[in-house]
Amino acid sequence: MEWLDKLNESIKYIEKNLEGDISYEEATKLACCSTYHFQRMFSYIAGVTLSEYIRNRKMTKAAVDLQNGEKVIDVSLKYGYESPTAFNRAFKKVHQVSPSTARKEGTFLKSYSPISFRIIANLKYGYQLERNNMTI
C-alpha cells in the first residue's frame, strides 16, 4: 500500500503548485517511479491523463477566481498561461464558456475536485481501489 501513499503525495505536490510551475520530475520523484510510468499509472487509475487532470484543476480554481472578481489577464498569468488567448482556449475546453462569460452571475461552470486514492476492503470481492469515493 506504500505505492498508493506515494501516489497521493505526488497529487498533494501538484495541488500545492497549481498556481506555479509543476515539475513532472518532482511529482514522479515523490511517487518513486519514472515520468513515463507515473503518467501511465496515473491515467490508468484516474481515468484521465495527468496533463488533463492538471488543466481541469487549474481551470476549476480559475473559475472561482473569476467569479470572485479577478481580472482575466491576472488569472491567466496566475495559472501559468503566457497569453490570454491560450488561457481562453483552455478555459473554454473545460467549461464551454469564455472566461468573461464565467464572471457573470448564474453562469454554470464545471468543478473538478482534487483526486485521491485509497484501497478499501470488500468482503465479497477482496480489495478494491477507490478514487474520490468512486470504486474502480
**Residue 92, domain member (yes or no):** yes
Nearest-angstrom CA–CA distance, 77 and 86: 11
Residue range of the domain that includes 109: 2-129
**pLDDT per residue of the chain (136 residues) written in tens, 0 to 9:** 688 889 899 999 999 999 988 999 999 999 999 999 999 989 988 889 999 999 999 999 999 999 999 999 999 999 999 898 999 999 999 999 999 999 988 889 999 999 987 776 566 665 555 666 443 3
Give the position of cell 483552455.
Answer: 90
**Residue 24, domain member (yes or no):** yes
Give the position of cell 475536485.
Answer: 113
**Residue 70, domain member (yes or no):** yes
Number of domains the chain contains:
1
**Residue 135, domain member (yes or no):** no
**Residue 136, domain member (yes or no):** no
C-alpha cell at 109: 461552470
